[in-house]
């Protein structure tokens, strides 16, 4: 803990000594929450489907350190994210931006749910309508036969 504090202090010292006019924002202390927020949106490059925030790998912890340093240098979270996108491409983002070809990823599931709902609605309607239209079919039975059926039903077993 004290080592971390020392590192923070030294980095703060160097930052205050070397704030360039480009990043004129004051070097505010970086909250781990913000680091986590940025890291959670980035893909850990050496893992399968893990974010930089969740991965225990060395690469991910180095990437978290880079995120922390850049935030400490006064960059906004969006700028830090862009820094990684510039180097790795959109591939590094766990959720692709909602434009262009990527829209398919967002729209196809919605469309599939829509088509499914319509299909179910049509089928249910068809089945229930069928029942409503159903009328008992007339069977022509000659009077003698119907008389016999009634007698046998009434007489019981």
Partner 1 sequence: MRRLWRWLIPLAALPVLALLAYGFRVDPRDIPSPLIGRPAPAFGLATFEGAPLSLAAHRDKVVVLNFWASWCQPACYEEAPILERNWREYRDRGVVVVGVDIQDRREPAEKFVREFGLTFPNAQDLTGAVSVDYGVYGVPETFFLDRQGRIRVKHVGAVTDAVFRANVDRLLAEPGSP
Query: Taking CB under 8 A as the rule, does residue 140 contact partner 1?
Result: no
Number of residues this chain uses to bind partner 1 (CB under 8 A) = 18
- Tokens (6 digits) for 65: 């350190």
Residue list 60-79, contact with partner 1 (CB under 8 A)? 62-63, 65-66
Query: Which one, 65 or 149, has the nearer CB to partner 1?
Result: 65
What are the CA-CA distances from residue 111 to residues 101, 107, 120 (Å)?
15, 6, 14
- The long-range contacts involving 124-129, CB below 8 angstroms and separated by at least 24 positions, are none
Footprint of partner 1 on 6-65 (CB under 8 A): 45-46, 58-59, 62-63, 65
Alpha-carbon dihedral sign for residues 14, 28, 57, 97: negative
Sites of contact with partner 1 (CB under 8 A):
45-46, 58-59, 62-63, 65-66, 84-89, 91, 104, 108, 115
């Amino acid at each position: 803990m004290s080592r971390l504090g020392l590192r923070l202090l030294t980095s703060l010292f160097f930052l205050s000594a070397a704030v360039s006019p480009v990043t004129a924002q004051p070097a505010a202390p970086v909250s781990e929450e913000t680091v986590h927020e940025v890291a959670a949106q980035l893909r850990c490059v050496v893992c399968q489907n893990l974010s930089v925030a969740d991965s225990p790998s060395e690469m991910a912890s180095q990437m978290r350190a880079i995120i922390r340093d850049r935030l400490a240098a006064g960059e906004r979270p969006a700028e830090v994210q862009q820094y990684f996108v510039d180097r790795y491409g959109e591939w590094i983002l766990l959720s692709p931006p909602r434009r262009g070809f990527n829209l398919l990823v967002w729209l196809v599931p919605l469309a599939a749910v829509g088509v499914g709902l319509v299909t179910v609605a049509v089928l249910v309607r068809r089945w229930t309508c069928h029942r409503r239209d159903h009328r008992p079919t007339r069977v022509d039975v000659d009077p003698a036969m119907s008389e016999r059926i009634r007698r046998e039903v009434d007489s019981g077993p």
